[in-house]
Amino acid sequence: MILWISNSGESLPIVLRMKDEGTDVSIYIHSDIYQDNYRGIIDKVPIAKLKQAAISAELVIFDITRINEHTRNDHILLKMFGLPKDTKYVFGAIADVLKKHTKVIGGSTMTSEIEMDRSKGIEIAKGIGVKIPKFFEFTSLLKGISFLRKRTDLWVFKPDDNADLDMTYVESFPGELLIKLENEFKNRLVTDKIDFILQKKIEGVEISTEMLFDGEKAVSFNHTLENKKFLTGDLGPNIGSQSNLVWVKKSKGLLVAELMKMIPFLKKAGYVGAIDINAIISSKDKAPYFLEWTPRFGYDALYGILSLTKGKITDFFTKVFDVNYKNGYSASERLTIAPFPYADEKLLKIFARNNEIVGTLKSKPLFWAEDVKVDNGKLLTSGNDGIIGVIVAVGSSIQEGFSNVFKAIKNFKITTSLQYRIDGVKKFEKRMNKLEQWRINIS
């Protein structure tokens, strides 16, 4: 049996596909908010039975990093696996325990730390030779405000520990971030104490380079370009990933040598899984500058990689990434409904719950569903956050990939208004052309 351990259910569409392949697979969802997702579609492992399921599983896969928010479930899980109540990285620490009993993909304390602790992540990146944008560390919002009052250049605010995505903020004009911190952020935070960095803004092209690591060696590499802003034209808040372009690359070129230098660190961590450097290629010196680590599967990029995989999705995990891939690109577009990206409970109940999606999940092979359930035979939105899923399609070109995405969206029938971007081709082709003009090896 394969067991997935998830916080909010990003791996649910993967589990469903693995079940359809005949795989014996189960999933545990940690957050109470997302328990309704896939109700009537997949039976989930309850928290009381998780330890037995994990120890008896042939393979345990962690789909995300979980920081200790001291919820009831956090404390139950930590106690269950014999860990202290104040353990910072819940899934990472549990993964370290489970490695003594079974095979584990994703999750370790050491890799969780370089993702969540900006300063630690920068230290590791510097050690493998990646250039670092100028930055300053802060533990107080007021001290950050005092620093910005003296600046006329552009800066980026980056909080530690997976704070709300829209709190990672890039200035578009001098003084914007100062106003933001003095007003909105000051009101949102319950305390002045917050760990964050202010990083000098670099103009260029942002790109992710990922290595899939089997515990001993690098198996393959891929690149991802993302549209992180909510609306067409890069308008609206930063939501992390709205559109994606993913392709498999050769074992050379941009940041491959640097990722290979991470292998001793990953071995020491006992880590198996994906590790990604998100970097920006500077328009001035054409060099990659480190932005952040993603030492776990990335979303929605993982759906893209799996769509490029030849054969069974199960094999991608059981063969520890040693699979063959299709040529071309995987394109994706996230589908959301109001009130997303806002999470007001009253608005979610009014607008995001129980909207009917016409048809079945099996009739929508390109749809990687997230915020859905089945009730009385009807496919409905769960309304937990308004991200109903992602449409992913493959093409020999960027144009063909997104053409297939938008054909699927056109045929997607739901009893409410969908939200998605329509500028993936234009945005990604422009960035690809720049990288090619700068002679950056991304093939």
Per-residue pLDDT averaged across 154-167, rounded? Answer: 83
pLDDT at residue 73, as a whole number: 98
Any idea which architecture 2-115 has in CATH?
3-Layer(aba) Sandwich (3.40)
Residue 168: predicted pLDDT:
87
pLDDT digits (tens, 9 = 90+) for 29-38: 999 999 999 9
What does the CA dihedral 8, 294, 270, 49 come to, rounded to 10 degrees? Answer: 0
What is the secondary structure of 304-350 as a DSSP string? HHHHHBSS-HHHHHHTTT---B-SSEEEEEEEE-TTTT---HHHIII
d(CA 111, CA 154): 30
The H or E element containing residue 111 is helix 109-116
**61-110 pLDDT per residue, tens:** 999 999 999 999 999 999 999 999 999 999 999 999 999 999 999 999 99
Asked if the model's pLDDT at residue 121 lies above 90, the reply is: yes
Q: Tens digit of pLDDT for each residue in 219-276?
A: 999 999 999 999 999 999 989 899 999 999 988 999 999 999 999 999 999 999 999 9
166: which 2 tokens? 């829209």
Q: Does domain 134-200 have CATH number 3.30.1490?
A: yes
Q: pLDDT tens digit string along 329-364?
A: 999 999 999 999 988 889 999 999 999 999 999 999
C-alpha gyration radius of the chain: 21
Q: What is the pTM of this model?
A: 0.95
Q: How confident is the model at residue 399 (pLDDT cuts 50, 70, 90)?
A: very high
Q: Write the DSSP assignment of 52-104 as a string of letters.
A: HHHHH-SEEEE-S--B----HHHHHHHHHTT--TT-SBHHHHHHHHHTTTSEE
Mean pLDDT of 402-428: 98
Kindly tell me if the per-residue pLDDT of 164 is higher than 90: no
| Domain locations along the chain | 2-115, 134-200
Decide if pLDDT at 166 tops 80.
no
User: Residue 38 CB: number of other CB atoms within 10 A?
Assistant: 25
Residue found by looking up tokens 């297939």 in the block = 404
**2: enclosing H helix or E strand:** strand 2-6
Out of 9-18, 207-216, 338-347, which region has the weakest mean confidence (pLDDT)?
Answer: 338-347
8 Å CB contact between 312 and 17: no
Residue-averaged pLDDT of the chain: 96
Under 8 Å CB-to-CB from 272, ≥6 apart: which residues? 103, 104, 105, 106, 213, 214, 215, 320
Q: What are phi and psi of 251, to 5 degrees?
A: -85, 50
Lookup: tokens for 131: 């250039």
Cα 286 to Cα 50, 180, 340, distances in angstroms? 48, 31, 36
Among the residue ranges 10-14, 161-165, 223-227, the one predicted with the least confidence is 161-165
- pLDDT category at 188 given cuts 50, 70, 90 is confident
CB atoms inside a 10 Å sphere around CB 45: 18
Does residue 162 have a pLDDT over 90?
no
At residue 156 the predicted structure's pLDDT band, cuts being 50, 70 and 90, is very high
Query: What span, in angstroms and rounded, lies between the C-alpha atoms of 56 and 46?
Result: 15
- CA dist., res. 148 & res. 142, Å (int): 10
Alpha-carbon span 143 to 1, nearest angstrom: 51
Q: What is the mean pLDDT of residues 38-64?
A: 98
- Tell me whether domains 2-115 and 134-200 share a fold: no
Q: Please check the confidence at residue 157 and state whether its pLDDT lies above 90.
A: yes
pLDDT of residue 165: 66
Q: Are 354 and 414 in contact (CB under 8 A)?
A: no
Peptide bond into 13 cis (omega under 30): no
